[in-house]
Each structure stands twice: as C-alpha cells, then as structure tokens.
Amino acid sequence: MEDIEFASIRLNGEIKPISDKGYSKNPIADYDADGDMEFMVKFSRKEISRLLEKGDDVPVTITGQMKSSKALFGETRVTVK
C-alpha cells in the first residue's frame, strides 16, 4: 500500500486535517476487514461549518497526494444542519 502525504490533504480544497498526534497515526486499522488498512483524518467542525452551506446534498471533496506524488481524490455528499 502506498502512503498518503498527510500534509497534502484538503477538504474542499481549503481545510487542512487536524494534525494532533492522536489523529494522524495512520494507517489505523482494517476496520472493514477487506485486507486494506484504513487511513483516518479529522477536520475541525468549526472550520467545516464556516465553509459549507446548510443543505441535504452538500458536496464534499477530499484531495491530496500519495508519497509517490500520485494524486488522490474522493468525493461524497453530506447533510449540513
């Protein structure tokens, strides 16, 4: 498995993950037992609520780079209250 460059991760191109030691120890575990270790990052709720509009179908993207400098990209939609 390739390593993710933690410092490159951004939510919607703007928000950096929280870099507290307890949140940046990755990969963490294979929670879904599919053989691939999961990588977990957390973001500040305060920063996210400033950035995202309220709604039921709000797009959120995660971008970053692998240590090999390949790009990574993920996208989902969330409810913001």
Q: Is the CB of residue 21 less than 8 Å from the CB of residue 57? A: no
Least separation, in Å, of the C-beta of 30 and Ca ion?
4
Nearer to Ca ion, 3 or 30 (CB): 30
Q: In what order do the strands lie in the sheet with 4-11?
A: 4-11, 55-66, 71-80
Q: How, if at all, do strands 55-66 and 71-80 pair?
A: antiparallel
- 1 near Ca ion (CB under 5 A): no
Among 7, 36, 40, 55, binds Ca ion (CB under 5 A): 36
Residues contacting Ca ion: total by CB under 5 A: 4
- 34 near Ca ion (CB under 5 A): yes
